[in-house]
Structure 1
Amino acid sequence: MSTPSSTYRVQLRPEFGFAEVAGIVDYLRGLGIGALYGSPMLDATPGSTHGYDVTDPTRARGELGGEEARKALSARLKDAGLGFVVDIVPNHMSVEVPKANQWWWDVLRNGQDSPYAAFFDIDWHRGRLLLPVLGDDNDELAVEGDELVYYDHRFPIAPGTGDGTPREVHARQHYELVGWRRGNRELNYRRFFDITNLAAVTVERPEVFAETHGEVLRWVSDGDVTGLRVDHPDGLADPGGYFRRLREGAPGAWLVAEKILHPGEALPQSWPVDGTTGYDALREITGVFVDPAAASVFTRLAAEQGVRTDYHAVEERARRLVTDGILVAEVHRIAALLQGVDADAARAAVAEVMIAFPVYRSYLPEGSGHWATAVARARKRRPELAPALDALDSQVRGAPACELATRIQQTSGMVVAKGTEDTTFYRFTRFAALNEVGGNPDRFGLSTGEFHTLAAGRAAAAPATMTTLTTHDTKRSEDTRARMAALSEVADEFAVAVRRWTAARGIDEPALNLLAWQTLVGAWPISPERLRDYLDKAAKEAKLRTSWTDHDEDFERSVAEWPSAVLGDADLAADVESFVKRVRGAGWANSLGQKLVQLAGPGVPDVYQGTELWDYSLVDPDNRREVDFAVRRSLLERIQAGETPEIDETGAAKLLVVHHALTLRRDRPELFTGYRPLQAEGVAAEHLLAFERGAGLTVAVTRLPVGLHRAGGWRDTALPLRAGEWTDVLTGRGVGDAPQASALFEQYPVALLVREDS
């Protein structure tokens, strides 16, 4: 197996392709990284900045440098002794530019006679392929040569159908161009969530799997790629079958699934994968740095400001918004498969079960308990639907591989994700540090005991799973989240400040207003432009006053003007900055603590590009900004020369922690096995989180630093260790085997200890 010691995620784009990534390989090697982990590298929509909109899975993306540049990057990684992990997208392909996707273009041209007609999940029984691209159904079209044209959109004309007016030509095609609003109601091809430009692929068909995965699996068999990260497996018809086929094609590769696990949920045991992409670890690591005592203060503040505080009610309403509007076409398609039930009752039953799912989806016959819970919740909420729900339950359980069971399970994940991550998390803004992918916002913090139990479980059950603190999909970066976590220790002060700031320049929507002040403090300093773009996205995702499809122009204008108004108000900006300084040091301590816990803890730690220094990014595309590797190289050289930097704005102290932890992990893998909780002794013991890996490595970090300082510091607190001489790798100092916390954390709020005889 090719399990790496760690990974470093890079976001490839036309300006930062294979050659540019090859140029940082020596830096990554010096940092201590075990493998490069790159965003999708197959041909994508022209100009794509993320690569998830694949148009041709049979070749390396030309805009990144093409096949030769890919091979050169692979050779460079091999020379440096680094693995190569590639992100793949099995669920969908981009059809935004039809001609860029030759399979889709052929389907549009030839309909069901196309050899690729079965490659896409299209319901041909409902007539022509519906393409919701027009502003209105009656918009004018044009014919240019053998193409039907609508502004910049071009579509093929079937052979022998090009005579007559544009409308007459259009009427003869295998597709129908309609107003974009009809898509949610009548779409007859499965898509990625609500994005009509991403058409779902029937990868469960062996021939489709072979065509879509042949190139990447060739990279694996050639030894160029050592690991695969699989995007959105919950959208697949048969995730377990998919992973078994993928494992057959890549028997020695490290495989991780982008699967969001709810608290207490485990990966299906039949999946032959090494683990998840780490959102479960993110939730737990963030949680242990949040003070649970602040829950009541933030709840009161939110309620007082007019923000809903009944999380599950907010979540249910948001999910219902998805089933009744955003994904109503999918609900109708599933309901049509339910036999013996009135159409209206069938649609209501299907929607209610998906709304009620306690996790993203089930994988029947595995996960039958989650399915049963969803049906039971639906019965309780809508008792009048009992006959329809009984029929649905019976038909799904009776034939778990049938189309009805398949579609409702793969769609439930979309309902949960759109309803919870992309809506609820922007409405339930009580304490946004918890509103993260895979997060549990209604649970305020995590005790050290709970954390240890979960970490020990990961060490025992999934030692090769990925762990992360920041990804391209997180709602905010790890350092933004760490500073926001510090707000839980000054909750009363923050509540007073929010009241004062809101009175001066509040946003006229309570949930967005509370989120905006938390974001401003968490990401400070931030430009008006970055904050404006973030709040615009947040407002539209919340779907309270405006949305991506139904705009309130006046409200959007007021939100767009808010950042400049706040930052341009000298007194208010100074007040906010003063508060940031109040929590900045605690935020830094949290950042270092959670990073060391991740890097040295169970699992394979990933470092998202640039986050080896402080990074106060927000949700995409903010987190895809260019990374200054020259600055990072310079700081790393100083650290490699022996410098132990101060904790300051440069973030060099974080780079020190990343470098030493990852280098030790790569060079001494025998130290990073197992997991044993350690308990400090003394009056401040609860502020010290510590654990042992193997018998010769101990991790110790500070938690809740504001409360620690307020209570008088470490005082008599000590950390008993196994007998022997221990050295802090970060500082090079010996600490003995029963160090006082005050001495242990004299220079940094974290320590990475190695026993000399190990």
Structure 2
Amino acid sequence: MNQTNPANARIPTATYRLQFNGGFRFCDAARIVPYLDALGVSDIYASPFLKARTGSMHGYDIVDHNRLNPELGSRDDFNAYCAALQRHGMGQILDFVPNHMCVEGGGNDRWLDLLENGPSSAHGDFFDVDWAPVKKELTNKVLIPVLGDQYGTILENGELVLSFEEGGFFISYYEHRFPIIPKTYSPILTHRLHELERLFPANHEAYRELLSIVTAIGHLPFYTELEPERVRERYREKEVIKRRLLVLCAENWPIKEFIDENVRIFNGEKGNPHSFDLLDGLLRQQVYRLAHWRTATDEINYRRLFDINALGAIRMEKPRVFEDTHRLVMELVRENAVTGLRIDHADGLYDPTEYFRRLQRACFLERRLASLGSSGDQSPGALAETILQMYDEMLEVSPQTMPFYIVGEKILMKNERLPEDWPIHGTTGYEFANAVTGLMVDTRNGREFDAIYARFIQERPNFAEIACQKKKQVMRFSMGGEINTLGHHLNTLSESNRHTRDFTLGSLIKALMEVIAHFPVYRTYTASRKVADRDRQYIEYAVAKARRRNSAMSESIFTFIEDVLLLRFYDNTGKEEQEQWLDFVMRFQQLTGPVMAKGLEDTAFYVFNRLVSLNEVGGTPERFGLTLEAFHGQNIERARSTPFAMLATTTHDTKRSEDVRARISVLSEDPAAWHDCLMRWSRMNRGHKVTVQGVKVPDRNEEYLIYQTIVGAWPADEFTDGEYGVFVGRIREYMLKAMREAKVNTSWINPNPAHEEAALHFVAAILRDIPANGFLADLRRTLPPLVRCGMLSSLSQTILKVASPGIPDIYQGTELWDFSLVDPDNRRPVDFEKRMGMLAELQSIERERGALALARALLQTMADGRVKLFLTWKSLNYRREHRSLFEAGKYLPLEVLGERSDNVCAFERYSDGETVIAVAPRFFTRLGTETWGDTRLVVPFESAGRAYRNILTGERVVTALRERRTVLPLTAVLADFPVALLEAVGDE
């Protein structure tokens, strides 16, 4: 496998994202490896395949980091899949989840151990649990907000069920399972003990054994015990008690019947509330407090991924947690089964920089151990120590040494850069997806679209204001517990100084929310007592905005918050208090990211619908498109700083696939036509609206989104049998999610069934396939030019992704047209058999008829998607064959002259005598069939007569001298295919 960078990391040439789940297993992936190799892919980019919650469709709900997911196949299946990769010289990048684990469903042994043993658990500091929370009743307890109704209602409905299994007691709530603390077994075992005395004489062995077990239970240390020897005693003795109970019941059926009857009594009788008192008393003694899921908003005391109760955060900053969760991954790195890592949600980590440093160090150790094999001169421990010393010495020479290919899931906001001290190769490519989408939006028409949108929804929305308000909404209604906890910590800090101690808790929490609401980036990265300049600017900006927006609040409160966040200690701030300030800052940093994600991506992006192709993860919808100069500038910066970052156009997280976005962006080219469509469709469909509580549903903003969604997701080809009904169902499911995410008329927390049903009725009605449906007929007349231009724009996006600085990533199935919407729509099964057959057919036709004839033929049947597959295949293979040109080559934007100069993006990559030019047109509604006219590329540093071969068609074009400049005429470059990749081949 090719090694190209100084640290010897294996750098991919192109990656292909696969979504593993029960419907796509290791054996399925093994079967398509030859196809992906032929397509030009060097590395599979695998979704998480470690053991996840049963039935997981995505793998991010990990329950065990050190086991493969059995639903994906056996270890032999995995090894066979990896062997297939190695036979084809391919690598594998694993999507690894270090921030959180699934804590629901009963499959996480570490979490169950914590629930059985509390703070004294071996995993008590594994999860990020606040054992001394604001709500004093939860001291040394964990709130489990999993119940579908109030605790008392659920209890008296008999939905909480006590059981006795394998010597232990458990509580079940549907698929959830919770252990009963052994210390609290006694109430169950001694209930009705007098009745058991009548069955056995006092000296009966079984009876005495039961009493002995009860005595042993009484001597168990409490779960709050932290002294190591007492903790070990508790672990040892509780398991002895379980074994004794198991044996006792196996050998004495009267004892077993006695316990089973007690369990039945504890479970109560529905309709008799007092019969549940015993179970209630038992549950009150547990480490956990089962509660209605709504209580999580204010009282949850374990950190989560965003506001997802099922995903509990782990304390990856602790070395033991790091080592414990990375054992299997490091084993796979050593075996070369994993050749790169994609780190999920890096912003959730306490100290991302330190995590990445530790990860690179661990990967270096494993790779060196693998290359050295066994050493007769040194013990394994001594060998590892020697290798790590080598790594530390290497770091002294080159602090940014990166021996292993690692990319981080990091969303960069406008003008934000990846932290320079992260030893990784770049991000997963959200910023490129937004840049290439923005490039296809006609920036000149922003004001017209503002007016169209405002006129249609009958208000003039301000995106910045929407984002700010939605972040506050998330903090109040989804993450109130985290905000309250942080506010109490800030209040504790304020109490230590005479100038700040009079700040009230309420005012501190309000001010804190205002600062977070105005934060311009996902988070800062302070991890020591020095605040980086970039972070200082973000903090000062947020505090200044919050202060201006809240003139009625005392400025001194905001000054205090700014002092804390910037670690501007007072003269009397002691060392211990300084550590408390730093800890507050780092926890603050862990919170701003989730608030931004939930408030911006998952709420504001569903409210501000002016042109929804711009509403993408990491995007800036208020900015109407991207100029050519800005696109080139981003490529130049990436080539300089992170040349091996991923380039994505579709991911499992994108709100819409690349092809949907490309088509919606076409609307920006002709605002008047879009306005006419809206007015016409709105009139046609007015009668399908239903009045709910005096309001027409859907509202105007929802209706505006519905039309864009239908336009964007409509297939390129004709519907086949049954497909239309599926399409309508997909649009309905998307709109339900979009309305709930917007949190305007309904939400996940407080669904409004009447509004939802009325809106979904509207979707079904306007898409009813009947002759009388004028809207559907008009839609079908309107769509063909949009579909065509969208496909052409998507081809341009593809060539830009392949040729730009970075590593192109293909999301599964998108080598053909893919009109998927947000998850779970984008996790639908992919027909790989169809794609393999198509690629084989393309290869055969090219051999028989040549690339030019094939390219021309594909343009006649663009709707079937083969043209995109052809472009992907030809360009990725060329990139793989000339990897040094694309990895190390310089990037030079090319000037375009002539009447259509604004309609094309072109640049040159050159290195060591190799040169290639990428040509990607845009704004196709402005281009007719023969419209390039005198438009030409200026090719600097070249003379006339230099030949270039289009690697897509095989045709040659030759430079000419015009007005003292060497140029390539676009009429020749784009004569037979919509995009071009031109290889310099010599002089004619």
- With normalisation by structure 1, the TM-score equals 0.98
Q: Which amino acid aligns with 1:688?
A: V
Q: Does 1:370 align with 2:599?
A: no
Q: Is the deviation greater in 627-636 or in 193-202?
A: 627-636
| Contact kept in structure 2, 1:735 and 1:744, CA below 8 Å | yes
**Matching residue of 1:171:** 284
Structure 1 segment 87-106 matched on structure 2, within 5 A: 87-97=95-105, 99-106=106-113
Structure 1 segment 268-287 matched on structure 2, within 5 A: 268-287=419-438
**Matching residue of 2:145:** 132
Please state whether the residue corresponding to 1:290 is helix, strand or coil. Answer: coil
Q: Is the deviation greater in 268-277 or in 159-168?
A: 159-168
4+ residue runs of structure 1 moved beyond 4 angstroms? none
Q: Does 1:686 align with 2:686?
A: no
The alpha-carbon deviation at position 580 of structure 1 amounts to: 1.2
Q: Distance in 2 between matches of 1:385 and 1:330?
A: 24
The alpha-carbon deviation at position 511 of structure 1 amounts to: 2.1
Deviations 1:200-227 (A, max 9, x none): 0000000001111121122112211111
Q: Does 1:631 align with 2:839?
A: no
Match of 1:661 among 875, 886, 891: 875
**Matching residue of 2:761:** 561
The alpha-carbon deviation at position 474 of structure 1 amounts to: 0.1
Q: Distance in 2 between matches of 1:43 and 1:133?
A: 22
Q: Is the deviation greater in 591-600 or in 748-757?
A: 748-757
What is the aligned residue count?
756
Q: Does 1:675 align with 2:891?
A: yes
Please state whether the residue corresponding to 1:117 is helix, strand or coil. Answer: coil
**Matching residue of 2:162:** 143
Please state whether the residue corresponding to 1:406 is helix, strand or coil. Answer: helix
Q: Distance in 1 between matches of 2:682 and 2:627?
A: 33
| Contact kept in structure 2, 1:426 and 1:511, CA below 8 Å | no
Match of 1:195 among 284, 301, 308: 308
The alpha-carbon deviation at position 182 of structure 1 amounts to: 0.7
Q: Distance in 1 between matches of 2:54 and 2:829?
A: 19
The alpha-carbon deviation at position 308 of structure 1 amounts to: 4.6
The alpha-carbon deviation at position 646 of structure 1 amounts to: 2.0
Please state whether the residue corresponding to 2:927 is helix, strand or coil. Answer: helix
Q: Which amino acid aligns with 2:658?
A: E
**Matching residue of 1:336:** 488
Match of 2:949 among 718, 727, 744: 727
Match of 2:866 among 652, 662, 670: 652
Match of 1:746 among 975, 980, 984: 975
**What runs of 5+ residues in structure 1 fail to find an aligned partner?**
none
Structure 1 segment 697-736 matched on structure 2, within 5 A: 697-709=916-928, 713-721=931-939, 722-723=942-943, 724-736=946-958
| Contact kept in structure 2, 1:295 and 1:444, CA below 8 Å | yes
Structure 1 segment 11-90 matched on structure 2, within 5 A: 11-90=19-98
Please state whether the residue corresponding to 2:94 is helix, strand or coil. Answer: strand
**Matching residue of 1:446:** 626
Structure 1 segment 409-428 matched on structure 2, within 5 A: 409-428=589-608
Please state whether the residue corresponding to 1:753 is helix, strand or coil. Answer: strand
Deviations 1:644-665 (A, max 9, x none): 2423111111111111111011
| Contact kept in structure 1, 2:698 and 2:762, CA below 8 Å | no
Please state whether the residue corresponding to 1:160 is helix, strand or coil. Answer: helix
Q: Does 1:256 align with 2:407?
A: yes
The alpha-carbon deviation at position 83 of structure 1 amounts to: 1.0
**Matching residue of 1:119:** 126
Deviations 1:650-681 (A, max 9, x none): 11111111111110111111321220000122
Q: Distance in 2 between matches of 1:538 and 1:668?
A: 43
**What runs of 5+ residues in structure 2 fail to find an aligned partner?**
1-8, 134-138, 189-277, 365-402, 495-502, 568-577, 687-696, 716-723, 847-853, 960-966
Deviations 1:704-745 (A, max 9, x none): 1112339x7111112233342101011111111243212221
**Matching residue of 2:964:** none
Q: Which amino acid aligns with 1:58?
A: N
Q: Is the deviation greater in 134-143 or in 611-620?
A: 134-143
| Contact kept in structure 1, 2:98 and 2:343, CA below 8 Å | yes
Q: Does 1:482 align with 2:496?
A: no
Please state whether the residue corresponding to 1:24 is helix, strand or coil. Answer: helix
Q: Distance in 2 between matches of 1:460 and 1:756?
A: 27
| Contact kept in structure 1, 2:103 and 2:311, CA below 8 Å | yes
Q: Is the deviation greater in 87-96 or in 568-577?
A: 568-577
| Contact kept in structure 1, 2:539 and 2:565, CA below 8 Å | no
Q: Which amino acid aligns with 1:544?
A: V
Q: Does 1:516 align with 2:706?
A: yes
Please state whether the residue corresponding to 2:128 is helix, strand or coil. Answer: coil
Q: Does 1:152 align with 2:175?
A: yes
Deviations 1:497-536 (A, max 9, x none): 1122122225522222111100100111361111011000
Q: Distance in 1 between matches of 2:15 and 2:707?
A: 34
Please state whether the residue corresponding to 1:756 is helix, strand or coil. Answer: strand
Q: Does 1:242 align with 2:355?
A: yes
Q: Distance in 1 between matches of 2:434 and 2:890?
A: 21
| Contact kept in structure 2, 1:350 and 1:408, CA below 8 Å | no
Q: Distance in 1 between matches of 2:418 and 2:316?
A: 21
Q: Distance in 2 between matches of 1:299 and 1:190?
A: 40
Please state whether the residue corresponding to 1:269 is helix, strand or coil. Answer: coil
Q: Which amino acid aligns with 1:296?
A: R
Please state whether the residue corresponding to 1:144 is helix, strand or coil. Answer: strand
**Matching residue of 1:605:** 808
| Contact kept in structure 1, 2:539 and 2:566, CA below 8 Å | no
Please state whether the residue corresponding to 2:625 is helix, strand or coil. Answer: coil
Q: Is the deviation greater in 566-575 or in 22-31?
A: 566-575
- RMSD of aligned C-alpha atoms? 1.5
The alpha-carbon deviation at position 152 of structure 1 amounts to: 3.5
| Contact kept in structure 2, 1:532 and 1:562, CA below 8 Å | no
Q: Distance in 2 between matches of 1:104 and 1:595?
A: 44
Q: Is the deviation greater in 107-116 or in 62-71?
A: 62-71
**Matching residue of 2:522:** 360
Q: Does 1:320 align with 2:472?
A: yes
| Contact kept in structure 2, 1:220 and 1:253, CA below 8 Å | no
Change (3 A) 1:224 1:152: closer
Match of 1:622 among 825, 828, 834: 825
The alpha-carbon deviation at position 371 of structure 1 amounts to: 1.8
The alpha-carbon deviation at position 447 of structure 1 amounts to: 1.4
| Contact kept in structure 1, 2:16 and 2:41, CA below 8 Å | yes
Q: Is the deviation greater in 277-286 or in 338-347?
A: 338-347
Q: Distance in 1 between matches of 2:905 and 2:174?
A: 60
Q: Which amino acid aligns with 1:393?
A: E
Q: Distance in 2 between matches of 1:343 and 1:413?
A: 23
**Matching residue of 1:549:** 749
The alpha-carbon deviation at position 150 of structure 1 amounts to: 2.6
**Matching residue of 2:191:** none
Q: Is the deviation greater in 302-311 or in 51-60?
A: 302-311
Q: Which amino acid aligns with 2:60?
A: Y
Q: Is the deviation greater in 507-516 or in 541-550?
A: 507-516
**Matching residue of 1:349:** 511
Instruction: Give 1 or 2 for the bigger CA radius of gyration.
Output: 2
**Matching residue of 2:556:** 387
| Contact kept in structure 1, 2:114 and 2:123, CA below 8 Å | yes
| Contact kept in structure 2, 1:33 and 1:662, CA below 8 Å | yes
Q: Does 1:213 align with 2:337?
A: no
Q: Distance in 1 between matches of 2:454 and 2:293?
A: 38
Q: Which amino acid aligns with 1:425?
A: F
Q: Distance in 2 between matches of 1:117 and 1:287?
A: 47
Q: Which amino acid aligns with 2:957?
A: V
Q: Which amino acid aligns with 2:626?
A: L
Deviations 1:558-582 (A, max 9, x none): 1222332111153211211221112
The alpha-carbon deviation at position 385 of structure 1 amounts to: 4.3
